[in-house]
């Protein structure tokens, strides 16, 4: 596989073209905006958490590069129906993956396609933007997350 | 006395490398910074390895030599930009420092609430933010002359926005995001009709078109060394003598004074009062070497070359379905900014890099320009004297690869 195909795997291209859960969520219990001022990528993440601390529904809107958009799309699939605790742990493992420090990439399911990002330090922030925004929403600590 | 651009690539050692172990580098990010010419590197090397001494204060041989070389660079800049006298040339750390010096040292004390500073919509952030800071400090207004959809300043609107309240006009010569060459001489004349002084931000102009401050009649002009094949951390502020005499130093320190007691300090003469502390001596000497280098080739030769490559790149890119050129001014040079349907500029930049082609993707520190064209970012190929038509072939091949990925 050449270096371009290694980064832009078909799964990423498909989620970029046709992102899932790509809409607003009227009854969200948590939401946050994520912005990368360097490239102008900007997203909103919406989460509805139920009384058992499970992510009952999740969605996103916004625009940016293929890496950031696909990452958000795949993230929403990975956390739907999962607990907040699981989600935070998954974020940690995803972060290790894109930093090139992961040894359990196979256990990350579809998220593993972002392993190629580790070779592009300038693009790690693209892959992580959605996750940082999600954490901002869940922690309710801030309404806007900036990756610079 | 113009030279030739044949074999000019031999003068830039950084060009001779491969990317990802297989692609010969095509460097098309010259609007961000230019590569350094061999004489520049040699000048830095000579200063650091042999002639390493401080300036303006030593009686010993090396200090005198360093002082001579530093002051020779000042004379080189004076001749290069057509300044009347060598004292009109102030060395700074770059264009940004120069604009801030003018804002704080010259303009600030002349502003009252309601006074106006006029810039254009296509300015680099470094010609926006210093004036916004001044606005906060003084209560003055910041006025912005709009651009049209080709990326040209609307001269009629610019003229209308000039008023007796206009206390400063600051305009870019060549847009770093679009490549537009502004009719600066005409804009200076318009501003002078109502008595407003004009600063020209020539950061993007100085390596790509001939710049002459006497012909422009501008009051200030700023540029950076690193965009004209010189060292980073160097720059020039030109000012007319009568104007510089009205400017206060923003930084105090050594070398900018004639005498200091605790009661009173007497400032040094112009330009030294604006160069406090030990400057980037090696860098300034290197900048002098860079200017000598382009002067040997001839700015007219370079200007014709850069203009031709920008036009050719725009023509060829526009043949690719889905490409939209950003900035199509009648008078433009050295830059081809574009977006591509279905592919974000950062993805274009990464895939081009995967094929050894270095471009810039982003807002180019000119977010208002991006907003005008309704984009968050563009992909920008920027050309310099060592680029060739073959580089545009490589750019085209790589953009077509992007199309393959993002069908």
pLDDT at residue B261 greater than cutoff 90? no
**CA–CA dist B99, B97 (Å, integer):** 6
In a domain, A148, yes or no: no
Q: What ipTM score was computed for the predicted complex, to two decimals?
A: 0.87
Q: Which of B20, B344, B370 is facing A3, going by the closest CB pair?
A: B20
Domain chopping of chain B, boundaries:
8-36+298-402, 41-296
Interface test with A, best of B29, B340, B345, B354 (most A CBs within 10 A): B354
What's the confidence (pLDDT) of residue A147? Answer: 59
Domain span at residue A53 reads 3-140
The answer as to whether A66 is a domain residue is yes
Give the pLDDT band of residue B340 (cuts 50, 70, 90). very high
Query: Nearest chain A Cα to B406, which residue?
Result: A13
Task: Please state which architecture CATH assigns to domain B41-296.
Answer: 3-Layer(aba) Sandwich (3.40)
Q: What is the pLDDT of residues A80-126, one digit of tens each?
A: 999 999 999 999 999 999 999 887 777 889 999 999 999 898 899 99
C-alpha separations of B70 from B73, B83, B173, B255 in Å: 5, 17, 27, 14
pLDDT given for residue A143 in this prediction? 58
Q: What is the pLDDT of residue B248?
A: 96
Q: Is the pLDDT of residue B146 over 60?
A: yes
Across-strand partners of B382?
Answer: B29, B335
CA dist., res. B228 & res. B213, Å (int)? 17
Q: Is B218 a catalytic residue?
A: no
Interface touch A63/B376, C-beta < 8 Å: yes
- pLDDT at residue B130 greater than cutoff 70: yes
Which CATH number is associated with domain B8-36+298-402? 3.90.1150.10
Let me know if residue A53 belongs to a domain: yes
Percent of chain B with pLDDT over 90: 92
**What does the pLDDT look like over A41-84, one tens digit per residue?**
899 999 999 999 999 999 999 999 999 999 999 999 999 999 99
pLDDT of residue A128: 95
State the average pLDDT over residues B154-169: 98
**Smallest Cα–Cα separation from B151: which of B380, B337, B350, B346?**
B337
Q: At a CB cut-off of 8 Å and minimum separation 6, what does A52 contact?
A: A83
Contact A72, A56 (CB under 8 A): no
Does residue B1 surpass a pLDDT of 50? Answer: no
Q: How many domains does chain A have?
A: 1
CATH number at residue A65: 3.90.1010.10
CB B204 within 8 A of CB B227: yes
Residue B363 to residue A64, Cβ atoms within 8 A:
no
Catalytic residue, from B25, B86, B365, B396: name it: B365
């Amino acid at each position: 596989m050449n270096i371009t195909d290694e980064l832009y795997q078909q799964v990423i291209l498909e989620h970029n073209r046709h992102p899932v859960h790509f809409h607003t969520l009227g009854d969200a219990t948590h939401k946050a905006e994520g912005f990368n001022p360097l490239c102008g990528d900007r997203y909103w993440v919406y989460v509805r958490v139920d009384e058992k601390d499970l992510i009952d529904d999740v969605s996103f809107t916004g625009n940016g590069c293929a890496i950031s958009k696909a990452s958000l799309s795949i993230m929403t699939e990975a956390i739907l129906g999962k607990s907040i605790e699981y989600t935070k742990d998954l974020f940690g493992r995803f972060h290790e993956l894109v930093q090139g420090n992961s040894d359990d990439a196979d256990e990350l399911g579809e998220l593993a396609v972002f392993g190629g990002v580790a070779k592009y330090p300038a693009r790690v922030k693209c892959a992580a933007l959605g996750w940082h925004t999600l954490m901002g929403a869940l922690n309710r600590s801030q309404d806007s997350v900036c990756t610079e | 006395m113009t030279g030739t651009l044949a074999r000019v690539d031999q003068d830039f050692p950084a060009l001779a490398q491969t990317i990802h172990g297989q692609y010969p580098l095509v460097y098309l990010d010259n609007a961000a910074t230019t590569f350094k010419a061999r004489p520049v590197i040699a000048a830095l090397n000579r200063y650091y390895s042999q002639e390493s001494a401080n300036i303006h204060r030593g009686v010993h041989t090396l200090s005198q030599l360093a002082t001579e070389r530093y002051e020779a660079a000042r004379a080189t800049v004076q001749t290069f930009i057509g300044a009347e006298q060598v004292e009109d040339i102030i060395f700074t750390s770059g264009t940004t420092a120069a604009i801030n010096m003018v804002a704080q040292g010259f303009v600030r004390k002349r502003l009252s609430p309601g006074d106006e500073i006029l810039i254009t919509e296509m300015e680099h952030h470094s010609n926006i933010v210093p004036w916004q800071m001044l606005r906060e400090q003084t209560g003055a207004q910041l006025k912005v002359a709009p651009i049209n959809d080709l990326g040209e300043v609307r001269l009629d609107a610019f003229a209308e926005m000039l008023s007796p309240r206009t206390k400063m006009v600051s305009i870019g010569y060549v847009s770093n995001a679009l490549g537009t060459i502004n009719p600066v001489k005409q804009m200076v004349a318009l501003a002078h009709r109502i008595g407003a002084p004009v600063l020209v931000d020539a950061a993007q102009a100085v390596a790509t078109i001939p710049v002459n401050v006497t012909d422009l009649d501008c009051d200030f002009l700023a540029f950076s060394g690193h965009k004209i094949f010189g060292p980073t951390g160097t720059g020039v502020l030109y000012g007319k003598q009568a104007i510089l005499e009205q400017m206060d130093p923003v930084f105090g320190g050594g070398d900018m004074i004639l005498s200091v007691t605790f009661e009173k300090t007497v400032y040094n003469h112009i330009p030294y009062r604006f160069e406090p502390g030990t400057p980037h001596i090696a860098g300034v000497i290197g900048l002098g070497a860079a200017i000598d280098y382009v002067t040997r080739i001839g700015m007219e030769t370079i200007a014709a070359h850069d203009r031709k490559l920008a036009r050719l790149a725009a023509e060829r890119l526009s043949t690719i379905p889905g490409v939209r050129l950003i900035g199509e001014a009648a008078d433009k040079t050295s830059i081809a900014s574009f977006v591509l349907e279905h592919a974000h500029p950062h993805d274009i930049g990464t895939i081009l890099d995967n094929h050894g082609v270095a471009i810039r993707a982003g807002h180019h520190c000119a977010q208002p320009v991006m907003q005008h064209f309704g984009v968050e970012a563009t992909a920008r190929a920027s050309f310099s004297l060592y680029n060739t038509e073959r580089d545009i072939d490589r750019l085209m091949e790589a953009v077509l690869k992007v199309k393959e990925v993002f069908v």
